[in-house]
Amino acid sequence: MADEDKQFEASAQKIQKAREEGQVFKSRDMSTAIVLVSTFGLLLLMTPMIWREISTLFILVFDQIPNAHIEDIGWQYLALISVKALVLLIAPFIVGAAIMATIADFFQVGPLFATKAVMPKFDKLNPVAGIKNMFSMRSLIELVKNILKIAVLGFVGWKVFEEYLGQLLSVGASENVFALMGVLGALLTKFILLAGLAFFIIGGADFLFQRWKFMQDQKMSFKEMKDEFKNSEGDPMVKHALRQRRMQMLQQSMLEAVPDADVVITNPIHLAVAIKYQAENMEAPQVVAKGAELFAEKIKNLAREYGVPIVREPEVARALYRIVDIDREVPPDIYQAVAEILLFAWKSVGKGVPGSSAPTGLGPDQNDLQ
């Protein structure tokens, strides 16, 4: 089915099926921003421990060198204490980044376990398809995003470097290594924080775009909607949901028709039926809305709001509600009664009565019901 035929919004069933297959939307840029900022925050928190481990490593190594040859100290000992320090320094960042990446994906996607998404797809090994993907619209969008990210990082880096350039030159001239490290640390901190903020903004925009693109890709054709309905109509819950949805759409359509109705006939408490008649394109008056109990009250309230006359005729209201469907004409056996009610309604609001084109019983010589 051509993409241009997919003009209907995706149903909840199709979105759920896509989710079960691992087709979800998320922003990698948002995940990157979260991991970047959280990892840098962890670095700031662990700075004392990092200095302590590095100092301990240097003390353990260099305290032994003046007292013994390196072969006497042993390569295994040096390797052991070095690897230990390296693990203590790197492991928290690896674990922390993995946890934050998982949390970032969880907040975007929610709980999901889709085995189909991890199954090998041999069609991706097709070189022709690979070349097509390289020049697809998605690849072009990713290229533009990457260029934008590089430009943003370059701009942020230049502005931060420009701000600290004077301090770097003055401290560099003094040859104070610790002061220079302090300035470089402040520069790096500000750059990462600003870069993280920029990535959050880019990630937010990318998340909205990915959601829009996903919903566009999931759109359905009329045939798909019909097939889905056929496949799911046997499910009682689905049938109930569909009936409820159709009822909501029907009620909304009826409420939209009430302001243009000519009269609302009530019984007067439990039922309300809205009637409309246009001489130029109707052979007889039509029922455009009807309801009972709470929905009848909605019809009457809307009629009062738009100045549609409300007439109390219990027998006529019950008959119309029972035997006439929406957008159907009034049957001949109650036609005369409806005609008299319409005439009364028109006169009550000072509306002109149709002339020669009016149906029988709606002529200007009809007696007023008052």
The structural domains of the chain, with segments of one domain joined by +, span 7-218, 258-348
User: In this predicted structure, what is the pLDDT of residue 131?
Assistant: 62
Q: Are 287 and 250 in contact (CB under 8 A)?
A: no
Q: Are 263 and 274 in contact (CB under 8 A)?
A: yes
In the chain, DSSP finds a helix count (H) and a strand count (E) of 12, 5
Counting every residue written for the chain, the total comes to 370
Q: Are 274 and 318 in contact (CB under 8 A)?
A: no
> What are the angstrom distances between the C-alpha of 241 and each of 205, 232, 311?
34, 11, 35
- Side-chain-side CA neighbours of residue 191 (13 Å): 18
Asked if pLDDT for residue 357 goes beyond 60, the answer is no
Asked if pLDDT for residue 296 goes beyond 50, the answer is yes
Q: Are strands 328-329 and 286-292 parallel, antiparallel or unpaired?
A: antiparallel
What is the average pLDDT score of the chain?
A: 77
Q: Using CA atoms, how far apart are residues 215 and 25, in angstroms rounded to an integer? A: 9
Q: Using CA atoms, how far apart are residues 21 and 17, in angstroms rounded to an integer? A: 6
User: In this predicted structure, what is the pLDDT of residue 126?
Assistant: 59
User: In this predicted structure, what is the pLDDT of residue 116?
Assistant: 58
| Among the ranges given (9-18, 111-120, 253-262), the one the predictor scored with the smallest mean pLDDT | 111-120
DSSP SS3 for 68: coil
Q: Are 196 and 190 in contact (CB under 8 A)?
A: no
Phi, psi of 348 (to 5 degrees): -65, -25
Q: Using CA atoms, how far apart are residues 92 and 335, in angstroms rounded to an integer? A: 84
**Residue 365 binned pLDDT confidence (cut-offs 50, 70, 90):** very low
In this structure, how many other beta carbons lie within 10 angstroms of the beta carbon of residue 366? 19
Question: Sheet holding 328-329: strands in order across?
Answer: 310-312, 263-266, 271-276, 286-292, 328-329
What percent of the chain is predicted at pLDDT more than 90?
Answer: 2
Considering the domain 258-348 in this protein, what is its CATH number?
3.40.1690.10
Compute the 3-state secondary structure of the chain and give helix, strand, coil in percent, each to the nearest 5: 70, 5, 25
**Which one has a higher pLDDT value, 219 or 275?**
275
Query: How do residues 161-201 score in pLDDT, each as one tens digit?
Result: 888 888 878 777 777 777 777 788 888 888 888 888 888 88
User: In this predicted structure, what is the pLDDT of residue 114?
Assistant: 58
Asked if pLDDT for residue 118 goes beyond 60, the answer is no
Q: Using CA atoms, how far apart are residues 360 and 267, in angstroms rounded to an integer? A: 25
Q: Which two tokens stand for residue 14?
A: 């199709």
**Torsion sign across C-alpha atoms 197, 198, 203, 206:** positive
Query: How do residues 131-154 score in pLDDT, each as one tens digit?
Result: 665 666 777 877 888 888 888 888
Q: Which residues of 251-266 are buried (b: 16+ CB within 10 A; e: fewer)?
A: eeebbebbeebbbbbb
Query: How do residues 241-265 score in pLDDT, each as one tens digit?
Result: 777 777 888 788 888 888 888 899 9
**HEC profile of 81-96:** HHHHHHHHHHHHHHHH
Query: How do residues 306-321 score in pLDDT, each as one tens digit?
Result: 888 988 988 888 888 8
| Among the ranges given (39-43, 66-70, 278-282, 294-298), the one the predictor scored with the smallest mean pLDDT | 66-70
* 334 burial type by CB count under 10 A (0-12 exposed, 13-18 middle, 19+ buried): middle
**HEC profile of 33-67:** HHHHHHHHHHHHHHHHHHHHHHHHHHHHHHCCCCC
Peptide bond into 268 cis (omega under 30): yes
Q: Which two tokens stand for residue 50?
A: 């990092």
Instruction: List CB contacts of 56: < 8 A, sequence separation 6 or more.
Output: 85
